[in-house]
Amino acid sequence: MDYEEALAYIHSASRFKGELTLRRMERLCALLGEPQKKMKLVHVAGTNGKGSTAALISSALIAAGYRTGTFISPYVLDFRERMQVGFQWITKEELAGTATRVKAAAGVLESEGLIPTEFELVTACGLSWFAERGCEVAVLEVGLGGRFDATNVIGPPEVAVITRIALDHTAILGGTLAKIAYEKCGIIKGGDVVCYPDQPQEAMDVIRRQCREKGARLHQPGREEARVLESSLRHNRIEWKGEELYIPLGGPHQVLNALTALGAIEALRARGFAVPGEAVRQGFAALCFPARLELACETPPVLIDGAHNPDGVAALVRALGSAQATVIFSAMQDKDYSESLRLLAPHARRLIACGLSLPRAAGPQEIAALAAPLCPDVAAAPDFPAAFALARAGLRGGEAILVCGSLYLCGEAESYFRANPPIKEKNGTNS
């Protein structure tokens, strides 16, 4: 297969199967030579902040000289973002070759009556490629939940990380924080567990109980461990244990994500990883992660943020403070976007509901109807270019445009600005 054929093959698989099980993934990895057993692993689960936390951990390991794989989901701009070694995405040729081998193994699986899902194929590609590239360690972001997630095919990780837990994917994971926390805790297999500092009590009770039952050592960094020297929409600067750290991710929630990552790094040090303070400083400062309060365009100022559920939007509006903006918003039908709109409304002088060409996307007219009683000025647009044109035409002096509500919308916005500069270049791109 070539690259396009590989993508078509992966995307042709179904997103979910009726039975939640690791059996398909275990068999697929066995046919591929157990790639997950050929490197040390850090496993990151949670509702919000998984990607940022995983990226910070990876960046510190890379700066410390470890050949590090990073597996994230979903992608923003390019499918290949999901699999990186160092700061480099998997190349098109490498993905084609890896997917060809995974397809052959999946064919054996199918002959046995086991049909892998899309995410299982993606995860198998990532693990296989990391093994082929000789990664010493890989940081894996869970796709959904934890207990039955394809990434949970791994054995006990060096450290399991639980980021902020909130209500999301409730139809699959359960409708309470306790039920969702239980699913996330499926990645705990003894050893060291690091937990987000500001976890809801209902979720924290489950995490503590699961750690006790599984004989795991729980580490929960406290807010007081970091002194915030500077915090803005663009970045944070903190003092942590005598070290001054620059975090190129904006908003106060990213300080807590950084504390979670630092807790994981300390746990790795205790397990023999050599990650000196200078590597942490360099790694954090070098991080470039899209759609996290990212300034994608300066004229007019356009901020892109991947907040896609009420808890994420709440963190976003805390970062905005009293600022108002023109908001371009999309959402998937399975999200509680009415609550997200309610949270955004005080910060939206104008809101433009944007259409997405996805069956799962909520329609722009439907979003606009929900937003109309909340916002003083609401419009709808069929796609991002039309939404951006509307937003730009109605801007007031110095006002920013905020793009949020769906990572798919963030991807559309990123693609638009790449084709219509100026946009900041990012680490980790390959042709």
pLDDT one-digit tens code per residue, 7-21: 999 999 998 766 789
pLDDT at residue 423 is higher than 50: no
pLDDT for the residue numbered 398: 84
Mean pLDDT confidence for 271-286: 98
For 176, residues 6+ apart whose C-beta sits below 8 A from its C-beta are 167, 202
CA dihedral 356, 413, 54, 247 (to 10 degrees): -150
Q: Is the link from the previous residue into 346 a cis peptide, with omega within 30 of 0? A: no
pLDDT for the residue numbered 356: 96
The pairing of strands 226-231 and 236-240 is: antiparallel
Distances (CA, A) of 30 to 124, 140, 186: 10, 19, 21
Written out in words, the top-level CATH class of the domain with range 294-419 is alpha beta
User: Which long-range contacts (C-beta less than 8 Å, at least 24 apart) are formed by 235-243?
Assistant: 243/277, 243/280, 243/281
pLDDT for the residue numbered 422: 55
pLDDT at residue 212 is higher than 60: yes
With beta carbons less than 8 A apart as the criterion, state whether 145 and 183 touch. yes
Centroid of chain to Cα 68 = 17
The pairing of strands 236-240 and 325-329 is: unpaired
Give the integer Cα–Cα distance in Å for 184 and 46: 6
With beta carbons less than 8 A apart as the criterion, state whether 363 and 371 touch. no
With beta carbons less than 8 A apart as the criterion, state whether 417 and 385 touch. no
Segment holding 348, helix H or strand E: strand 348-354
Which structure tokens are listed for 237? Answer: 């600067």
Residue 373 class from Cβ within 10 Å (0-12 exposed, 13-18 middle, 19+ buried)? exposed
pLDDT for the residue numbered 428: 41
Mean pLDDT confidence for 274-302: 93
**pLDDT tens track for 312-338:** 999 999 999 888 999 999 999 999 999
**pLDDT tens track for 360-387:** 999 999 999 999 999 999 999 999 999 9
pLDDT above 70 covers a percentage of the chain that reads: 97
Which residues, listed in sequence order, are joined to residue 88 by a DSSP beta bridge? 85
pLDDT for the residue numbered 323: 87
Could you say which DSSP state residue 396 is in?
Answer: P
For 291, residues 6+ apart whose C-beta sits below 8 A from its C-beta are 76, 304, 305, 306, 407, 410, 411, 414
Could you say which DSSP state residue 265 is in?
Answer: H
Give the integer Cα–Cα distance in Å for 29 and 126: 11
Instruction: Give the number of other Cβ atoms within 10 Å of residue 202's Cβ.
Output: 14
At 431, is the pLDDT very low, low, confident or very high (cuts 50, 70, 90)?
A: very low
**pLDDT tens track for 39-72:** 999 999 999 999 999 999 999 999 999 999 999 9
Distances (CA, A) of 325 to 178, 303, 371, 384, 396: 35, 10, 15, 17, 9
Mean pLDDT confidence for 342-348: 97
| Domain locations along the chain | 3-286, 294-419
DSSP E strand stretches across 20-125: 40-45, 68-71, 83-85, 88-89
pLDDT at residue 36 is higher than 60: yes
More confident: 74 or 379: 379
pLDDT at residue 259 is higher than 90: yes
Segment holding 194, helix H or strand E: strand 191-195
Instruction: Give the number of other Cβ atoms within 10 Å of residue 246's Cβ.
Output: 16
Q: Is the link from the previous residue into 310 a cis peptide, with omega within 30 of 0? A: no
Please give the mean pLDDT across all residues of the chain: 94
User: In this structure, which amino acid lies at residue 218?
Assistant: L
At 108, is the pLDDT very low, low, confident or very high (cuts 50, 70, 90)?
A: very high
pLDDT for the residue numbered 17: 66
At 425, is the pLDDT very low, low, confident or very high (cuts 50, 70, 90)?
A: very low
Domain 3-286 carries which CATH code?
Answer: 3.40.1190.10
